[in-house]
Each structure stands twice: as C-alpha cells, then as structure tokens.
C-alpha cells in the first residue's frame, strides 16, 4: 500500500440495520414532538426541530409533484450556488456482497460473501466536485469551532442556514491538484454527512452517503468479477498510482461502469455510511440481508471504498475496503482536532445517494449526525 494511515477494518459489533426509510403513520407523534423543540443559542442547531423543518420541505416537494418520482436519471441544481450535478437511477435487487476466496489480492475483511438485497436509489454519476462542495465549505458567515452559526434565528433564516458547516480551512485543501471539475477531498465523514444535510435542505430531496452495501452493489452493476469491467483494461476505467501523475483527475474522464457511474474504480476513495469491522454481518443460513447498514458506534474506523489515485490496482477492486484512521489528520493544527478536515487524506472524497422513500426524522438524524460526539 502506498499511503500512510491504511488500516484493515477493526473488530466492531455489526448491526444488520434495515433502511426502508418509509415515513410511517405511527411516526406522526414523534414528528409532532420534534416540531415542538425550540431552537435557541443553548440548543444544537442540528436538533430535531431543524431536521423536522428540512423533512417538511422534502415532503412538500414530493406532494407538489416537483420531483423525479419514477426511477429515472435526473439532474439536480443546488439553489445556493447554481451548480448542477447528475444522478443515476439504480434499480433494486440482490447480489453477492464481498469477494470470493479465490479472487486475486483478496483480503479477509472482504468476506465471507453473503447475499444482500438492496432497495432502489439514485447515486451521483460522479464524485462530489469542488464546484459543488466549496460553497458549503467556504462561507462568509462567522462560525464557531463546531461549525454552528450562533446568530442563526429560525424565525428569519431558512433551514439551510441552520445546518452546521465547516470552519474555514487553514490551508488550500486541494493542495494545488485542481478545483473546477475535480473531486473534493480531505473532508471527514462528518463533513460529508453535513454536506448531504446542507444539500437536502436546499433541494427538497433527502441526500446521504451510500451504505457500504449500496456502494458495492452500484459499483458491481450486476457483475461478479473483481472489477465491473471484467477483463478489460483498468487504464480505460480508473485512475490509480501508475497512471494518475501523482494527483487526482477531473471526474468523468474515464469510461463508466455498466450502470453509467464514473470513477467507481480509483480517482478518489469514497466515504460510505458504515463502521468498519473485520467481517460483514451474515444472514441466517440461506437468508438474505435486506438493506444492511453497520451503524457506527465510534469515530474510527469507518469505511471508504473504491481506491484512489494513490493506490495500486488491487485496492480498486469492487470488494476492496479501507478503514479510516485518526492518522489522516496528523497535520491538523487545531486543538482539539477539527471535526471537518482530514488534511493528510488527499485521496478521500465521496458521492451522494438519494433513497426512494422519504425517511423519518430519526433516520435523517442517524445519517447526518452519526459522527457527532463520537470519539
């Protein structure tokens, strides 16, 4: 492995948590209670009241019919910046997750293989770029260390203003590798989660990080080989150590996988929503895991997928996994270390997904705040 801070996924308690995301009638009482929470200086801005406000906007957009509705590809515009990005409709289905024991360069934490069923969702056609991410990361609003805006007034500001956003970085975070059209990097999983919340508050669609199962399902795109292109030439599909010129490259310049997703092999590694364990959860004998999500219980390690421009080809395989490490922020001069930046991980980025069903407030909170308060 070419970069420092690489760790195999450590032993954790795995939780096969289903992610239906359906707004059920029995949740009405919880939603009403959440709406009654008062937002003030003494209350976190990312509390139930703000989440309920964002969810209401998602429901309104769905009810107005101003939505992608059916499972088809679409283009989203970010209102605050005017930047557009494309999403690909991923059909639901079953697949074998993980790598077979005979796969070359396989590591033990990629198995054993298990059958998984995934519900339909949309996924970003490309990795999130600086064009999309920088308006979230760089604002003129004065923020506290945790990223909150102390002058936020829910009576006069929109929900987007209430989302915790990064404090200004102390250095240029692309490190000269390029910005316009290039993937955003060096964010913590918390920062990626909060970007998804910020994006959702603006667009009226619920965006989040993909689960590890969703990521591998989308990467494989119906294939069972080590890479989604089978026996094809990796140079045609991915950026890695030997062809990247020691930096990431513009998104979408390599061939897509069979479902139209670019850069699933290489360019930058991508955050998922999962904690990282030595093995996956397993269904009962002959059973199927449905929408599994390993809910993080501590800050490290968490799963990134896909390999990067700084990796050898074996780390770009569909089943290859990587656990995050506190070493990724060694150069961070803040005390305590920033919630927002992994300054030593210039090869880590992310892409967003949108599930078909509207989630509950509790489900939104579980995704967007999974790193808050964790050590």
Per residue in 212-235, pLDDT (tens digit) is: 999 999 999 999 999 999 989 999
Residue 20 lies in a domain: no
What is the edge-to-edge ordering of all strands in the sheet holding 269-275? 321-323, 302-305, 269-275, 348-349
Pairing type for strands 348-349 and 269-275 reads parallel
Decide: 274 and 204 in contact? Cβ < 8 Å.
no
Domain annotation covers residue 40: yes
- Residue 316 within any structural domain of the chain: yes
Tell whether 17 is covered by a domain. no
How does pLDDT run across 142-201, given as a tens digit for each residue?
676 666 666 777 788 888 888 988 988 888 999 999 999 999 999 999 999 999 999 999
CB 173 within 8 A of CB 162: no
| 105 found inside a domain | yes
Average pLDDT of span 290-318? 95
Number of domains in the chain: 1
Instruction: Please tell me the predicted confidence (pLDDT) of residue 98.
Output: 96
Residue 12 lies in a domain: no
Give the span between the Cα atoms of 121 and 237, in whole angstroms. 23
**CATH number of the domain within which 236 lies:** 3.90.1580.10
Checking if the pLDDT of 20 tops 50, the result is: no
Residue 2 lies in a domain: no
**For 73, how many CA atoms within 13 A lie in the half-sphere containing its CB?**
10
d(CA 114, CA 346): 32
Would you say residue 124 lies in a domain? yes
Segments forming the whole domain that contains residue 109: 25-368
């Amino acid at each position: 492995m070419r970069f420092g801070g690489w760790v195999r996924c450590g032993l954790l308690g795995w939780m096969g948590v289903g992610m239906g995301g359906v707004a059920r009638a029995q949740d009405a009482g919880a939603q009403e209670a959440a709406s009654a929470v008062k937002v003030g200086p003494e209350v976190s801005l990312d509390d139930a009241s703000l989440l309920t406000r964002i969810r209401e906007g998602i429901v309104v957009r769905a009810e107005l019919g101003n939505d992608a509705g059916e499972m088809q590809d679409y283009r989203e515009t970010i209102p605050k910046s005017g930047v557009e990005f494309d999403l690909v409709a991923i059909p639901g289905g079953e697949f074998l997750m993980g790598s077979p024991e005979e796969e070359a360069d396989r590591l033990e934490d990629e198995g054993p293989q298990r059958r998984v069923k995934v519900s339909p969702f949309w996924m970003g056609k490309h990795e999130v770029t600086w064009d999309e991410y920088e308006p979230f990361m760089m604002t003129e609003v004065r923020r506290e260390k945790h990223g909150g805006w102390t002058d936020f007034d829910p009576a006069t500001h929109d929900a987007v203003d209430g989302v915790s956003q990064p404090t200004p970085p102390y250095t240029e975070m692309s490190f000269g590798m390029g910005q316009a059209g290039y993937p955003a990097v060096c964010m913590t999983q918390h920062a990626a989660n909060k970007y998804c919340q910020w994006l959702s508050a603006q667009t009226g669609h619920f965006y989040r990080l993909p689960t590890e199962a969703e990521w591998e399902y989308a990467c494989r795109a119906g294939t069972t080989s080590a890479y989604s292109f089978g026996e094809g030439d990796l140079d045609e599909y991915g950026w890695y150590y030997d062809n990247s010129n020691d930096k990431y490259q513009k998104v979408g310049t390599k061939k897509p996988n069979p479902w139209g997703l670019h850069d699933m092999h290489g360019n930058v590694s991508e955050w998922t929503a999962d904690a990282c364990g030595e093995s996956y959860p397993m269904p009962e004998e002959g059973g199927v895991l449905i929408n599994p999500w390993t809910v993080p219980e501590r800050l490290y390690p968490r799963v990134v997928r896909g390999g990067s421009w700084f990796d050898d080809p074996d780390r770009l395989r569909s089943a290859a996994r990587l656990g995050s490490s506190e070493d990724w922020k060694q150069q961070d001069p803040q005390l305590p270390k920033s919630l927002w930046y992994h300054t030593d991980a210039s090869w880590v980025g992310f892409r967003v997904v949108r599930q078909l069903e509207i989630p509950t407030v509790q489900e939104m909170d579980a995704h967007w705040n999974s790193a808050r308060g964790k050590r």
